[in-house]
Structure formats: C-alpha cells, structure tokens
Amino acid sequence: MQKRKLGTSNLEVSALGLGCMGMSHSYRPFPDRREMVTFMRAAVERGVTFFDTAEVYGPFINEELVGEALAPVRDRVVIATKFGHRYGPDGKPVGLNSRPEHIKEAAEGSLKRLGIETIDLYYQHRVDPDVLIEEVAGAVKELIQEGKVKHFGLSEASARTIRRAHAVQPVTAVQSEYSLWWRKPEEDIIPTLEELGIGFVPYSPLGKGFLTGKMDATTTFDPTDIRSTIPRFTPEARQANQALVDLLGRIAARKQATPAQIALAWLLAQKPWIVPIPGTRKLERLDENVGAATVELSAGDLREIEHAAAQIAVQGARYPEALERMTGL
C-alpha cells in the first residue's frame, strides 16, 4: 500500500489505517479475541501499518488486544492510542480527566497493556474543559522527552485549541470525524492543519457503515450498538440520507468499485496528508477498504461528487446531544 506522512512530521504510515474500536467497543456482539488477533496480522500483511486504539475502548481490553496482535510485527507498525477519561469504581468511564498527573498515569497503563516501550502517537481523546490545553500539551511534551511517547495528537479539538496546543508541543495529527456525510472539518479544521503542517486522521470515514450501501431504512441495530442511539441512524434519517449512498453507487458503477471505496478514495483525494482509519472486523471488508487506495478519482469525478453532494441535505445529528457536547468543535 502507498504510504503517507502525517503533515510535516516524519511519521509515515499506510494511506489507510485500521480503527480497532469495534473489536471490543460500541458494536456488539464482539468477535472472538483470537479471530481479531489473526485479523490484525492479516491487515499488516496487506500493507496496513497504522492501528488506532484507546484506553477507553472496552475500557482497556482493546489496547491489550492490539498489543497482543501486533507484538510480532512491532517494528513494522505505528500504534496510536488515546488518553483523557475518568473512570468510576467499576472501571467504566464517568467523564473526562486530562490533568497532567493523570495523563502520565494513563500513559504508563497504555504502555503496559500494549506491551510496548513507546507510544507512537498519543492523542487527547476529547478536550477537557477543566484543564488548560497548554497543560495537556506540556504533559505530553514531558512524556516525549522521557521517550515514552513519540508524537502528540488531538481528537475532536477546535481550531483554536489546536493552535494553542501546537504552540507548546507540535501536534503531529488531529483525529476527527470526516466523511461525505460529515464535512464540518472543512470549515476551519482542515485549513488550520494545512497552515500548521499537521496531519488529519478521519475516523468513521464510512459514516459508521452507512456509506457502504449495506444498510437502508429497514436495517435494525442491537440495543447495545451505538448506532441505535444516534439521530442520524433513525429509519427516517436513513431514508432521507439514502441519496448520498445512491450518489456513491453511481460513481462506483462507473469506476468498477464499491460505494465504500469511492467514499474512501474521495477522502484520500482531499489532501495528501489525510489518512482515514475505517474500522472493520471482516476480512472481505478489509480487502475492500484497502482496495480504495488504488481507486483514482479524476478532477471531473471530484467535481461531479462535489456538485451532487451539495444538493443533498444530510438529515439527523451525528451524535446524541450529550456526546456532541464532548466533541469540542
């Protein structure tokens, strides 16, 4: 697979990464652990070198899973994880905590669970309104100086927050939701990243599965599936948003590709420092996603997608209100 550098940093990764959250978080029922270990190693054999996890996924068990899977190929991969949550007595997240002392404790925990000596890319998972971002950046800077972290990242941060953090410790990458059905980062995040030389890592690049064309208004979700709580996934919203999938389908038919591949190819065509991290647990979907890196969209194709997408008003909020308040955007 082609490689890309995240911004002006020296962090080079595969053009498409793998989001590992769904292997143990948000999308029940979860697959067998051994199956996922084999799956991640298969991803490496297909050229994927960028793996995304977080302490809160599970919580904690996702890092252990990723660490076990990638141990034999550690020298070939880049592992990104995240900090910033507070946990109750039962181990479940109950809020945010990015106090410097907590960041350092979290880093030690992640290093142990992942079984590595250095975290390649360490994101603040969500901006903590109770802690100055300068203090957060300073704490990660110290971890970098100690050799426990290589690169600093932010997730779902505003342009102003990114600038403030970057002034203390250069930010290598920002992770936020970005796809054809969530384009808010184009307003000020992407221009800010381009100006500062920061890479962009879109999560949910396939709209939590909607842009694959594999679901419609009649699709049902398990009550434990995060999509069952998301306004954008009500039957009415899915029916209204089908026009976007139909658009991808038309382009895909012409390109002998799939809607998912067109959605990912569109993201890759936006900037050379954008690295989407679609999450999947199935080998056939992994192969489909990896294939998107070879789909070439011409300037005419991109104009056609842009023009058609501009006529489509996506319906429904991307998160329940409580979660949306945590994004920092």
Taking residues 178-192, what's their average pLDDT?
A: 97
- Please report whether residue 190 resides in a domain: yes
Q: What percent of the chain has a predicted confidence (pLDDT) above 70?
A: 98
- Please report whether residue 256 resides in a domain: no
**What is the per-residue pLDDT for 326?**
64
Taking residues 200-205, what's their average pLDDT?
A: 98
For residues 39 and 327, the model is more confident at: 39
For residues 327 and 159, the model is more confident at: 159
For 218-236, the pLDDT digits (tens) are 999 989 889 999 999 999 9
Measured distance between the N- and C-terminal CA atoms of the chain, rounded to whole angstroms: 32
Q: How many CB atoms lie within 10 A of CB 197?
A: 16
- Domain range enclosing 155: 3-206+270-295
Which of these ranges, 99-103, 112-116, 128-132, 310-314, has the smallest mean pLDDT?
Answer: 310-314
Taking residues 248-257, what's their average pLDDT?
A: 97
Q: What is the spatial distance between Cα 303 and Cα 309, in angstroms, rounded to a whole number?
A: 10
Q: Which of 105, 320, 290 is nearest to 226 (CA)?
A: 320
Query: Strand, coil or helix: what is 200?
Result: strand
For 263-322, the pLDDT digits (tens) are 999 999 999 999 999 999 999 999 999 999 999 999 999 999 999 999 999 999 999 887
- Please report whether residue 101 resides in a domain: yes
**What is the per-residue pLDDT for 32?**
96
CATH number at residue 197: 3.20.20.100
For 137-154, the pLDDT digits (tens) are 999 999 999 999 999 999
Question: Which pair of tokens denotes residue 178?
Answer: 């970005």
- Please report whether residue 313 resides in a domain: no
> Domain tally for the chain?
1
Taking residues 236-265, what's their average pLDDT?
A: 96
Taking residues 91-103, what's their average pLDDT?
A: 96
Query: Strand, coil or helix: what is 122?
Result: strand
Strand 50-52 and strand 78-83: pairing?
A: parallel
- Please report whether residue 108 resides in a domain: yes
Is the Cβ–Cβ distance between 87 and 102 less than 8 Å?
Answer: no
Active site members: 57
Q: What is the spatial distance between Cα 211 and Cα 8, in angstroms, rounded to a whole number?
A: 30
**What is the per-residue pLDDT for 324?**
73
Q: What is the spatial distance between Cα 96 and Cα 124, in angstroms, rounded to a whole number?
A: 10
- Please report whether residue 113 resides in a domain: yes
Query: Strand, coil or helix: what is 3?
Result: strand
Taking residues 13-31, what's their average pLDDT?
A: 95
- Please report whether residue 227 resides in a domain: no
Q: What percent of the chain has a predicted confidence (pLDDT) above 90?
A: 93
**What is the per-residue pLDDT for 205?**
98
Please give the distance of CA 106 from its chain centroid, rounded to a whole number. 20
- Please report whether residue 75 resides in a domain: yes
**What is the per-residue pLDDT for 327?**
59
Instruction: Please enumerate in sequence order all residues whose Cβ is within 8 A of that of 223, keeping only pairs 6 or more positions apart, or say none.
Output: none
**What is the per-residue pLDDT for 329?**
45
